[in-house]
Structures are given as C-alpha cells and as structure tokens.
Amino acid sequence: MEEKNPQINTDENEAKTIHTYLTDMAETVRNNEISVINIAVAEQKKHEREDIYRKADGTNSKKLFLLIGGVILLLGTFVTIYFIIQKNKVSNIPITNVTNSKIETIISYDSQSFIDVSQTTSSNDFVKLLKPEILKVGNPDSIKSIFLTNSMSGSPEILKLEDFTSLLGITAPSSLIRSLSDQYMIGTYTSSIKNSKPHLFLLFKVKDYDIVYAGMLQWEKTMLNDMFNLFNINTAGNSISLFEMPFKDALINNKDMRVLYNDSGDNVLSYVFIDKNNLIITDDQDTIEKVASLLLFKNIKQ
C-alpha cells in the first residue's frame, strides 16, 4: 500500500502568513502612530510650559523696564528723605548775628531789639528783663518788634512760643496754647500823640479759632494775674479789686473785643480777634487799630 504524503495546504499557510504579516504591520503602524502622537502631544505641552514660563518671567524688555522703574522708585524715596532731613536742619539752624538780621514776623515793624533769656528761670526775672525794652519810647507812630533769644545751644535762637508762655507762667488752657501757631510777636507801639508812652502788645497766629476763642473766655479768670506785671498794671491798694472784675464786651472797628476796665473806666487789659487767624492782647485801643491796619495792608500785598 502506497503511503500517501500529506498534502500541505499552501493556500492556507499563505493566508496565515499574509494574515500574520498584515497583523504585525498594522500593530506596528498603530504603535508607531501612538508613539508619534505621544511625542507630538509631549512636544506641544513642552512648548506650552515654556510659553507660560516666558509670560511669568516677562520679556527681557519688561524685565529691563521693571528694573529701571525699581531703581527710579528707590532714588525718589532717597531724594524725598534727603530733602525732609535738610528741611528739618534748615528750620533748626540757629540764627547767627541776630542783631544784624531783619526777621520777618506777623506784621511789618520799624525797629527791633533782641533780649537773651537763656539764664532766666522765673517769671519775675523774665519780666524784669523785658521791662526796660518795653518802656523805651519809639519814634512817633512806630512799631518795635522785641525778639526773645536763647543761646543755650551756643548760637542765639528765637524763643519758641511754648517756652515763652512757660517762662511767663501763663495759666491759659493747654488746648489754647496748642491751637496757636509757633509764629508770635512781642511788640510795642508808640503813637503819634505827643509825649505818648509805648504800649505793649502780644500778637498770635491762630490755628483753630473755635478752640482759641473758648480758651480765651476760660483764661479770663486768671489772665490779669498772669499779665499785670508784664503790662505794668497797677494792682496795689484799692486796685486789687481788679482781680475780681470780669471782662466785658466792647466793639472796635465792628469787631468784638473783651475788655477789663478799672474803677475809672480805663482799659487796663483787652484782647480781640482781628480776624479768625490773628489774636492780639494789649491795653490800648490805638495799638489794636494800628496792628489791624498793618495786617490788612500785608494781606493786600500778598
């Protein structure tokens, strides 16, 4: 019996081979496509991250502008601090050769004098030091400005308002003193009337009118006690009753004035707000009118 060799189905094998090849190829293509896509996506994400970083960091131009802006801001801060320091230094510079200086004050004046109060510690000594200058008769219709100086620092400086009121022993409310400007003036006025005596006046710049007005009304109770020595008011003998007398209302140039009269009806002490920015204390109506006219003239010039 003849052996039969098995028949190989070449078509089937070929089909399997082709199928396997096509399958492998498709797998390879699919895998390659996925890899390519993955690479493309990764590359895109990389570019996106770099773009975000660039935006976060800013361009070179922006960085340069920011750097320049920061430097300018720092320089501006340093310059501002420098000028503030210099301004404070200037305001604290002692006045040298004061006897040769023309110092600007609230109103214009015709003559000036300087009194060093560095060694003065009591109100009595202070007034004794001032009185000779206060009593000096000036030229007719003239204003003299009296500047108080302190030389404790080595060079004479104009006495501050706070130190002036402290030396004088003023009992006015502290709120009143705080509501006055540092700019004040001590002066005398000699009228054009023959043989007239000089009249002392104290002129203050007002920062808060309402507080100062209320403070002055409160101070009236002790004002005479604070001022009688400075204004050379006679309080001896029967005149001692002045300490019990109240201030009264009066009018001067349509302005309210508070006046302390003696038994003879004479004005021994008065004060008036020339305007809401200026307060004067004196014992003479002509002095008030003179100072008011000088203030008006100065305001017109400005």
> How far apart are the C-alpha atoms of 28 and 33, rounded to whole Å?
8
Burial class from Cβ neighbours inside 10 Å (0-12, 13-18, 19+) for residue 52 reads exposed
pTM, two decimal places:
0.68
Three-state SS for 52? helix
* Spatial distance between the Cα atoms of 32 and 21, rounded to a whole number of angstroms: 16
* Measured distance CA(152)–CA(253) in Å, rounded: 43
| DSSP code of residue 48 | H
What b/e readout covers 119-129, taking b as 16+ CB neighbours within 10 angstroms?
A: ebeebeebbeb
pLDDT tens, position by position, 21-44: 445 444 544 544 445 455 454 556
Tell me the domain boundaries of the chain.
Answer: 98-301
| pLDDT, tens only, 98-143 | 556 789 999 999 999 999 999 998 999 999 999 999 999 999 999 9
Per-residue pLDDT, 139: 95
Calpha distance 66→11 (Å, rounded): 78
